[in-house]
Chain A
Amino acid sequence: MRILAYGVAGWLILAGAYGMVRSRNLVHVTVCLSVAQSGTYVLLLAIGYQWGAPAPVFSPGSPIKLPVVDSVVQSLAFTDIVVSATVTALLLALAIQIHKTHRTLDPDELQSLKG
Chain B
Amino acid sequence: MSRRARQAVFGTGAAVLAVLFALAAAGLPPFGGDQHPYRDRAVAAALHQATANVVASLTFDLRGLDTLGEEMILLGSVVGAVALLRPRPDEKPHADDKTSRPQQDAVALISYVFLPLTLLLGFDLLVHGHLTPGGGFQGGVVLATGLHLLYLSGGYDALRRLRPLAWYEWVEGLTTAAFALAGTANLVNFLPHGRVQQLFSAGTVPILNILVGFAVGAGAVVLLAQFLTQAITLEGEG
Contact = CB atoms under 8 A, between A and B. Distances in A.
- Assess A/B contact in the complex (Cβ within 8 A): yes
Interface of A: 1-2, 5-7, 10, 14, 17-18, 21-22, 46-51, 55-61, 64, 66-68, 70-72, 74-75, 78-79, 82-83, 86-87, 89-90, 92-94, 96-97, 100
Given A57-B54, A82-B70, A87-B77, A93 B226 contact: yes
B39 interface: yes
A70 B31 contact: no
B226 A56 contact: no
A2 B25 contact: yes
Closest 7 pairs (CB-CB, A-B): A86-B77, A6-B25, A56-B54, A2-B31, A51-B32, A75-B58, A71-B54
Interface of B: 3, 6-7, 10, 14, 17-18, 21-22, 25, 28, 30-34, 36, 38-40, 42-43, 46-47, 52-55, 57-59, 63, 66-67, 70, 73-74, 76-78, 80-81, 84-85, 88, 131-133, 137, 196-198, 223, 226-227, 230, 236
Nearest to A82: B70
A21 B9 CA distance: 10
Instruction: Tell me the dominant secondary structure on chain A's binding face.
Output: helix
Contact of B10 (A1, A17, A56, A87): A17
Contact of A100 (B21, B58, B59, B88): B88
Contact of A60 (B28, B52, B59, B67): B52
Given A6-B25, A74-B58, 10 more contacts: A10-B25, A49-B32, A56-B39, A57-B52, A68-B43, A71-B55, A71-B58, A78-B59, A82-B73, A90-B77
A1 B53 CA distance: 28
Contacts of B53: 56-59
